[in-house]
Structure 1
């Protein structure tokens, strides 16, 4: 029966109407996947030697075990966004003599062979081979590897359980930050606490049964849930649940833009792909810690400018570059109504402006690394507000690819075109080059003034720029509507 399911999925893949259109992208993603797997193999081989160099007096296996708790939590956190339960068109099968249990087992079995589950094996198998080559006990290493596979499958099936709840995401994210904070500030030796638990998989091989048992329990819970959902009339039943609405009354103070802001905020909060942009933006606030703590980047003007533009404008880039494709499902309806296009674009600009201000405020603690970091971030925020917002909106008029908001947010190239790559040149490249040249050949103060002055000029020309952008959207109106109607683009 499983062979028949595989055959049907294979035919569905090649006979899809979008197969030819997305063939180039599929080939590109295939090469990218192969590159990532080769990189993981190299990282797995170098992991042993890297740990030996960083901690010469410690056992590499012991040091790796101390960090595995973060690996489990971070992978579970990102899988919440990236991985969805693989689905197949089961409705035609439900009126055939096929057991529902077979369908459920096939769906869960496919998820076990997901590409996400290949990441850990391609990293840890080479590491295990290097351990064996350095005279580590073969049996212990192999059973440890079996335990790692059990952990991977546990993460896979636990993800499908917690994926149904946004509260679980908050708990996992909060747990990661709390544990890292406790460990970083020396309040609690988190790695010392969890290290023996994961090291036990190597030291006491019998403990490898635990992650395997957790994987089996999670598999069974998912199986029971799926089996209860596989009914022909399940899709005919009207779901009734308590309506949860938010008036967002505070948006009324924005006048005519209030209704548009309400729609955008609801769209962001109710869809995983847009909600993921918010979480990613908040996570990238900590991006500066990677560079500000390194001496080699302390006086690197291009890097400091990049951090300022990137951190204060991360939501601007991630969300703004797909305007108005976020509204592609009902864009034709918007354009057919008596809705001022200018107000529509102003509401988008206002939403992005708020995000830039919030992101700058979150970066204020970087003043700990010197006034230079704060000053660059402030000038970058001004530049983003005055220059990059009009640039983002202008390039949005070239977006003609539809976005399905219910699709997985990660690894999803829907809505992506050459426009998304070209837009990074003026948004990131131009301010970085300008700031770097002025700081090197004149002074840091002049570079800061120039970046801020460009932002102020952008503010002063806000109305004329929005008029030009609105006219551009009017010219592209029918082409955008036609593009957004194509579901397999």
Structure 2
């Protein structure tokens, strides 16, 4: 039966009207997957030697066990954002004489052979070979490897149980942040606890069966969950949600642009993809921990500036790069209304500016890492306040691909075109070039002032530049309308 399901999926793929696009995307994703697998392979081969060099007075295997917890939680976070349950189109199957448990078993079994699990093979197995070659107990290493692979399967099934639960996402992020902080500042070194647990498997190989037992339990829980929701009426029934309206009357004080701002706020909060972009903007605040603490970046002010641009510009970049595609589903209706296009653009600009200010305020704790680091954040803030929104709006005039607002925002390339890549050049590369040149000739303080000055000048020139941007939108109006009518 499983082979029959696979044949049906292959026929669905080869007979699809969008076969050419599907093949090109799969080829691109294939190259990306190979690149990532090679990265895991290099880590698996080199981890022992790297840990031996960095911690010469400690056993590399013991140190590896301490750090593996970061990989496991990061793996769960990555799966949460990117992995989907490999559900084929089972609606036609529900009216056929096929037992529901066979459909569920097929879905779960197929998930075991996903790319995410193969990445663990390229990490743990090479590392195990290195351990055996260095004289570690063969049975213990074999049991440890088996346990880690079953833990990977457990993570696979845990992801399906918590899939797209915002509370679960918060717990994952808080967990990995707490463990890192406890390790970094030795508050309560949780990595030592997990390291002892994993090393115990090596010392007592029979305990590796715990991983197998946990994976079987999680498989059963997933089986029960999917069995309870796979019904024909559940598959065809439209989901009904109660729309809750917030009191946005205070925005009326902003004048003629207020109705557009209120509509944008409702659009952001009521739709999955825009809500994801909004929430991810706050996740970008954590990027400073990478650029200010990781050895590769903490000694490079240029790379720190790069991180600071993301820190306060996360929303402006992620939301702004898809203007006006966020309104693609009702864009034709908007264009029949008697309103000023300038007000429509001003509402987008206002949202990006306000969110940039909020993210800047929330980034204040980074002053802990030093005043010079905070100055880079300030420079990035002024740059994102004035320059970034205007560039994003200008490039939006060339954006002609519609967006499904109810689609997931993670790993979703719908609506992406060359404009989304080109817009990142002036926003991310320009400040780095300015900093490198000015800092070389005039020093750090002058470089920071110049980058902030670019943002201030852009902010003060907003009205004149917005007139040019509005003109470009009007010129491309009918091309945009035509593009938004096309379905991908």
Q: Same fold (TM over 0.5)?
A: yes
Provide closer, same or farther for how the CA distance between residues 102 and 274 of structure 1 changes in structure 2, counting only shifts above 3 A.
same
Shift of 1:391: 0.7
Q: Deviations over 1:379-406 (max 9, x none)?
A: 2211221122111110011112233344
Using structure 2 for the length normalisation, give the TM-score.
0.92
Shift of 1:426: 1.2
Shift of 1:164: 4.8
Matched, 1:454 2:454: yes
Paired position in structure 2 for 1:163: 163
Shift of 1:436: 2.1
Paired position in structure 2 for 1:392: 392
Paired position in structure 1 for 2:318: 318
**Which blocks of at least 5 consecutive residues in structure 1 are unaligned?**
none
Provide closer, same or farther for how the CA distance between residues 346 and 41 of structure 1 changes in structure 2, counting only shifts above 3 A.
same
In terms of mean alpha carbon deviation, does 297-306 or 430-439 score higher? 297-306
Provide closer, same or farther for how the CA distance between residues 469 and 217 of structure 1 changes in structure 2, counting only shifts above 3 A.
same
Distance in 1 between residues matched to 2:216 and 2:248, nearest whole Å: 44
Distance in 2 between residues matched to 1:93 and 1:307, nearest whole Å: 49
Distance in 2 between residues matched to 1:202 and 1:263, nearest whole Å: 58
Shift of 1:348: 1.2
Shift of 1:242: 5.5
**Which blocks of at least 5 consecutive residues in structure 2 are unaligned?**
none
Paired position in structure 2 for 1:177: 177
Q: How does 1:88-487 map to 2 (within 5 A)?
A: 88-237=88-237, 239=239, 244-293=244-293, 300-487=300-487
Using structure 1 for the length normalisation, give the TM-score.
0.92
In terms of mean alpha carbon deviation, does 63-72 or 332-341 score higher? 332-341
Cα-Cα RMSD: 2.4
Provide closer, same or farther for how the CA distance between residues 447 and 224 of structure 1 changes in structure 2, counting only shifts above 3 A.
same
Aligned residues between the structures = 488
Distance in 2 between residues matched to 1:19 and 1:31, nearest whole Å: 18
Query: Does the 8 Å contact 2:366/2:374 carry over to 1?
Result: yes
Q: Secondary structure at the match of 2:20?
A: coil
Query: Does the 8 Å contact 1:302/1:436 carry over to 2?
Result: yes
Query: Does the 8 Å contact 2:402/2:484 carry over to 1?
Result: yes
Shift of 1:151: 0.8
In terms of mean alpha carbon deviation, does 404-413 or 370-379 score higher? 404-413
In terms of mean alpha carbon deviation, does 372-381 or 231-240 score higher? 231-240
In terms of mean alpha carbon deviation, does 7-16 or 158-167 score higher? 158-167
Shift of 1:438: 1.6
In terms of mean alpha carbon deviation, does 13-22 or 418-427 score higher? 13-22
Paired position in structure 2 for 1:45: 45
Distance in 1 between residues matched to 2:272 and 2:388, nearest whole Å: 26
Q: Secondary structure at the match of 2:89?
A: coil
Shift of 1:249: 4.4
Distance in 1 between residues matched to 2:164 and 2:31, nearest whole Å: 32
Provide closer, same or farther for how the CA distance between residues 268 and 114 of structure 1 changes in structure 2, counting only shifts above 3 A.
farther
Query: Does the 8 Å contact 2:287/2:310 carry over to 1?
Result: no
Query: Does the 8 Å contact 1:321/1:420 carry over to 2?
Result: yes
Q: Deviations over 1:210-229 (max 9, x none)?
A: 22222222221221222222
